[in-house]
């Protein structure tokens, strides 16, 4: 099954996306954020909470002068390490307890700070490489089933209940488990600490919760003879910190989009651009596959009309990811099955879009999202729509397949719902395994014309964005009809210009690093 | 006939279908446990038509059974907020005639809820199921505040922009967060002395008009609601209030 699409249009879209991302990258290189600096501290081993449950990395950042902050937290923290002789975790605890103040070490020479940090930076990166090697070893020993990889979510709010649900889903055939975060976590400018048992519509992402789930899925993977992947969300105001914790706890995938937070969570665009870049550098190094969030364009507006915007966003996400050093095999571009079930030939449009994405991004582990917008309380019809989605996915060789729940829009999935969803996907994908290889798309038919139209529309959209610049384009509501000003939105006060002597030892090490 | 029972394939057979998961490894005893459990729920003629292991220590069942319970339909009260059916053009004309000005309406997903699908369906130009959203109406000035709006900010906005109607949406219902947020909004409006000056509406897939009135709202709109149904309710309510105060 192959669509005839114009390769020169595809090339032009890619070049436009690169041109769109280029000036934003210059902005990124000249700025940092509180979340990036907190990640530096976490990478060095700073963790835990102080008074009022405030995480130690936040306490340290909040205590820095604007001038020290603009140089990067590493220098000030390195001075403290050199002077006190403490290890990073102990120094963090001492600062949190109020017994040590970084401001007192301003006279320590910068060279001493850099020197004392070097072994901690090396050890941190070695630890991430170790976790990555562990994943590779396990994947070798416990191979996954062929794609589409069945992906389900758990979302009880209680990490221990999530663990039970995840293990049951893995046994039923799930290959990837995502722990949905508590609603609202994306707007927290800190990462909660410790195991959590209370959440709304999901479970807080904390490093301890990551560890608990990783351990359970490793055990389940050994039992099933298949490696079970773990996913969380590097989105919102703590993108790079979540990427850090995920690298350390060997998560395998992270939701991570270059524009999602701006458009759909009103997070400041400058904050998002800077944060996504450093988080993706970390993801690249730790071997984590990102999942981008194009499905959101389709759930918030008309799925037929938004198709060119989805493709444009995929090109932009790809360009940003390449800039951060990510290879195609780690760029899980998103798409979703969201066209109204009432539309005649809607299935044909879905196939057109999914196949178009597959052909344009042949090496990307595409992430295909299930119907949500048109799911109602009619679970019987919902199960049918999910089956059509499953068919589209296997026909067009999607890689990461988020199983649709018959109870979507009713409640966070029951344990039994998840199994029914997996069985639905298994049945359809097995019975139609090679269907896509056996059929030809009618030349100039509905599917092909639709795909060509989407590509043309994408080309025109990217051209407009390139003309006025990405930040102005977002301000002018060119994406998802959502309008965001460059200096508005959440988290803008956490963005700052880098001083000429700014130093982030991890950024230096990750730049040009190849694993 | 006002007394009714579920209808399978014959009047009054009382047939229902159930499905559920039990936290036990599947066995014939698990099937029997499911059967007895459904019997304890008060059902008769219980048939476990499907019972199987779905994971370690979990089994799934599909059960058919009969109920002897019935309900007197004549006694049921669930007032609908959708009785003032009008098209977009009719609403526009009605508002022009009865109020002579635009209605200012603000909508938001309150609290930490990030699911704007409902509020967008009602407010965005595009609308829902071919029924245009309120942004397209000549008779409405619409403010869609989007997701995760704190109740305090919503009330502040309502005050500053002198809105006539507030539309609060909640999709996430885990642990009663929807009811908490709806209640907080109603109470804050009351405390600010604004409650009687606005038409207060809640919406969401789990919302019913009955629940809304219990929470002190003027109306509640659940799944499948069309924008024109909300528009008509707001227009008629405001027009009636105007008549009442003149």
In chain A, residues with a C-beta closer than 8 Å to the C-beta of B175 are 157, 200
Specify the DSSP class assigned to residue B102: P
Please say whether the beta carbons of A40 and A72 come within 8 A: yes
Instruction: Report domain extents, chain B.
Output: 3-71, 88-244
B173 at the A interface (CB within 8 A)? yes
Within 397-426 of A, beta carbons closer than 8 Å to B belong to 409-412, 414-416, 419-420
Which residues, in sequence order, are bridge partners of residue B53? B59
**Chain A interface includes B177 (CB < 8 A):** yes
Q: Quick one: pLDDT at residue B80?
A: 84
User: What is the pLDDT, as a whole number, of residue A264?
Assistant: 84
- Examine the residue annotation and report whether A367 is marked as an active-site residue of this protein: yes
Assess B55–A contact: CB distance below 8 Å, yes or no. Answer: yes
Residue A20 near residue A319, CB atoms below 8 Å: yes
Confidence band, pLDDT 50/70/90 cuts, at residue A89: very high
Q: Mutate which of B23, B52, B54, B130 to test chain A, going by most A C-beta atoms within 10 A?
A: B54
> Would the CB atoms of B116 and A186 count as touching at under 8 Å?
no
pLDDT value at A514 more than 80: no
- pLDDT tens, residue by residue, A64-73: 999 999 999 9
Contact A255, A238 (CB under 8 A): no
CB-nearest partner of A184 from B21, B148, B223 = B148
**End-to-end CA distance of chain A, in Å?**
35
Q: Does B18 touch chain A (CB under 8 A)?
A: no
* A151 given a catalytic annotation: no
The complex's ipTM works out to 0.88
Nearest Cα to Cα of residue A252 among A162, A158, A151? A151
Please report, for residues A21, A73, A235, A260, A390, the alpha-carbon distance to residue A474 in angstroms, rounded to integers and kept in the order given.
13, 31, 18, 11, 33
Considering only alpha carbons, which residue of chain A is nearest residue B128? A302
Nearest-by-CA chain A residue for B150: A184
Pairing of strands A400-402, A149-154: parallel
Q: Report the residue from A266, A301, A419 with minimal CB separation from B54.
A: A419
- Does residue A339 sit in helix, strand or coil? coil
Pairwise CB contact (< 8 Å): A301 & B146? no
Residues of B whose CB is below 8 A from A409: 171, 205, 223
Q: Chain B residues with CB inside 8 Å of A481's CB?
A: 124
DSSP H or E run through B46: strand B44-55
pLDDT < 50 positions in chain B: none
Question: A184 touching B, CB under 8 A?
Answer: yes
Q: What is the pLDDT of residue A48?
A: 96
Crossing angle of helices A110-141 and A239-248, in 10° steps, is: 60
- Would you state the pLDDT for residue A515? 52
The whole-angstrom separation of Cα A247 and Cα A290 is 12
pLDDT at B246: 63
Structure-block tokens of residue A336: 């979703």
Peptide bond into A148 cis (omega under 30): yes
Average pLDDT over residues A54-58: 97
Judge whether residue A9 has pLDDT over 70: yes
pLDDT in tens, A233-251: 999 999 999 999 999 999 9
Contact list, B54 vs chain A (CB under 8 Å): 168, 172, 415-416, 419
Residue A357 has pLDDT above 90, yes or no: yes
Q: What are the angstrom distances between the C-alpha of A293 and each of A98, A258, A327, A332?
A: 41, 9, 18, 9
Q: Domain B88-244 belongs to what topology? A: Rossmann fold (3.40.50)
DSSP A234-303: --GGGHHHHHHHHHHTT--EEE--SSHHHHHH-B-HHHHHHHHHHHHHHHHHHTPEEE--THHHHHHS-T
**Among candidates A157, A409, A419 on the partner chain, residue whose Cβ is nearest the Cβ of B55:** A419
Name the DSSP letter for residue B197. G
Q: pLDDT tens for residues B187-242?
A: 999 999 999 999 999 999 889 999 999 999 999 999 889 999 999 999 999 999 98
- Taking CA atoms, A427 is separated from A146, A371, A422, A438, B49, in Å, by 14, 18, 9, 19, 20
B153 touches chain A (CB under 8 A): no
Provide φ and ψ at A101, rounded to 5°: -125, 125
- pLDDT exceeds cutoff 60 at A458: yes
CB A285 within 8 A of CB A510: yes
Domain positions in chain A? 31-123, 145-227
CB B10 within 8 A of CB B32: no
Q: Do residues A433 and A398 make contact, with C-beta atoms less than 8 angstroms apart?
A: no
pLDDT at A261 over 80: yes
Q: Is there a catalytic annotation at residue A295?
A: yes
Average pLDDT over residues A471-479: 93
> Across all residues in chain A, what is the average pLDDT?
95
CATH of domain B3-71: 3.30.30.60
**Which residues in A lie closer than 8 A to residue B172 (C-beta atoms)?**
183, 200-201
Among partner residues A183, A376, A416, which is closest to B172 by beta-carbon distance?
A183
Total CB pairs under 8 A between chain A and B: 79
pLDDT given at position B129: 79
pLDDT at B173: 77
Model pLDDT, residue B62: 98
As to burial, measured by CB atoms within 10 angstroms (0-12 exposed, 13-18 middle, 19+ buried), residue B97 is exposed
């Amino acid at each position: 099954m192959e669509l005839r699409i114009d390769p020169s249009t595809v090339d032009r879209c890619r070049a436009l996306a690169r041109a769109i991302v280029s000036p934003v990258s210059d902005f990124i290189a000249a700025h940092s954020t509180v979340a990036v600096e907190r990640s530096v501290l976490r990478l060095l081993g700073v963790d835990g909470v102080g008074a009022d449950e405030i995480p130690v990395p936040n306490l340290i950042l909040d205590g820095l002068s604007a001038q020290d902050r603009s140089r990067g937290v590493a220098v000030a923290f390195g001075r403290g390490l050199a002077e006190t002789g403490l290890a990073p975790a102990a120094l963090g605890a001492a600062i949190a307890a109020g017994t040590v103040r970084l401001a007192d070490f301003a006279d320590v020479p910068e060279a001493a700070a850099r020197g004392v940090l070097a072994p901690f930076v090396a050890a941190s990166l070695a630890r991430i490489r170790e976790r990555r090697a562990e994943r590779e070893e396990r994947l070798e020993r416990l191979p996954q089933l062929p794609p589409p990889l069945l992906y389900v979510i758990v979302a009880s709010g209680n990490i221990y209940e999530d663990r039970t649900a995840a293990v049951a889903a893995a046994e039923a055939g799930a290959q990837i488990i995502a722990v949905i975060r508590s609603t609202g976590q994306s707007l927290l400018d800190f990462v909660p600490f410790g195991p959590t048992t209370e959440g709304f519509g999901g479970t807080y992402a904390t490093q301890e919760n990551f560890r608990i789930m990783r351990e359970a899925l490793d055990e389940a993977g050994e039992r099933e003879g298949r490696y079970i992947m773990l996913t969380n969300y590097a989105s919102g105001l703590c993108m790079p910190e979540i990427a850090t914790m995920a690298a350390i706890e060997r998560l395998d995938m992270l939701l991570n989009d270059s524009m999602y937070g701006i458009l759909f969570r009103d997070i400041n665009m400058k904050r998002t651009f800077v944060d996504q870049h450093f988080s993706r550098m970390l993801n690249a190094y730790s071997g984590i596959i990102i999942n981008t969030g194009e499905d959101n364009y389709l759930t918030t507006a008309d799925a037929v009309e938004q198709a060119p915007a989805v493709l444009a966003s995929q090109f932009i996400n790809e360009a940003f990811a390449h800039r951060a050093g990510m290879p195609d095999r780690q760029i899980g571009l998103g798409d979703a099955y969201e066209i109204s079930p009432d539309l005649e030939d809607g299935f044909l449009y879905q196939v057109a879009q999914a196949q178009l994405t597959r052909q344009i991004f042949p090496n990307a582990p595409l992430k295909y999202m299930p119907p949500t917008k048109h799911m109602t309380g009619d679970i019987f019809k919902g199960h049918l729509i999910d089956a059509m989605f499953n068919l589209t996915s296997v026909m067009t060789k999607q890689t990461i397949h988020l199983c649709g729940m018959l109870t979507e829009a009713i409640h966070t999935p029951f344990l039994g719902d998840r199994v029914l969803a997996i069985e639905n996907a298994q049945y359809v994908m097995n019975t139609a395994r090679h269907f896509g290889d056996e059929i030809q798309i009618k030349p100039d038919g509905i599917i092909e014309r639709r795909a060509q139209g989407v590509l043309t529309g994408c080309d025109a959209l990217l051209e407009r964005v390139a003309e006025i610049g990405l930040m102005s384009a977002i301000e002018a509501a060119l994406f998802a009809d959502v309008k965001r000003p460059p200096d508005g939105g959440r988290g803008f006060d956490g963005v700052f210009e880098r001083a000429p002597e700014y130093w982030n030892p991890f950024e230096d090490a990750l730049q040009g690093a190849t694993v | 006939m006002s007394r009714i029972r579920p209808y399978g394939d014959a009047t009054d057979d009382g047939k229902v279908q159930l499905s559920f998961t039990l936290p036990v490894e599947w066995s014939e005893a698990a099937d029997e446990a499911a059967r007895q459990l459904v019997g304890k729920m008060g059902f008769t003629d219980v048939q476990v038509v499907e019972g199987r292991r779905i994971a370690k220590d979990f089994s799934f069942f599909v059960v058919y059974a009969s109920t002897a319970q019935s309900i007197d339909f004549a006694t049921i009260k669930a007032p609908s907020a959708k009785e003032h059916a009008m098209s977009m053009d009719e609403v526009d004309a009605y508002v022009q005639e009865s109020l002579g000005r635009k209605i200012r309406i603000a909508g938001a997903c309150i609290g930490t809820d990030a699911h704007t699908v409902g509020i967008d369906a009602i407010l965005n130009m595009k609308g829902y199921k071919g029924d245009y959203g309120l942004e397209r109406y000549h008779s409405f000035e619409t403010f869609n505040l989007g997701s995760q709006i704190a109740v305090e900010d919503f009330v502040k906005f309502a005050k500053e922009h002198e809105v006539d109607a507030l539309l609060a949406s909640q999709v996430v219902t885990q642990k009663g967060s929807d009811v908490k947020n709806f209640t907080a909004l109603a109470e804050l409006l009351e405390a600010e002395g604004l409650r009687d000056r606005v038409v207060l509406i809640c919406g969401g897939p789990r919302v019913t008009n009955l629940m809304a009135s219990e929470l002190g709202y003027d109306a509640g709109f659940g799944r499948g609601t069309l924008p024109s149904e909300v528009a008509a309710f707001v227009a008629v309510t405001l027009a009636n209030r105007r008549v009442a105060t003149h």
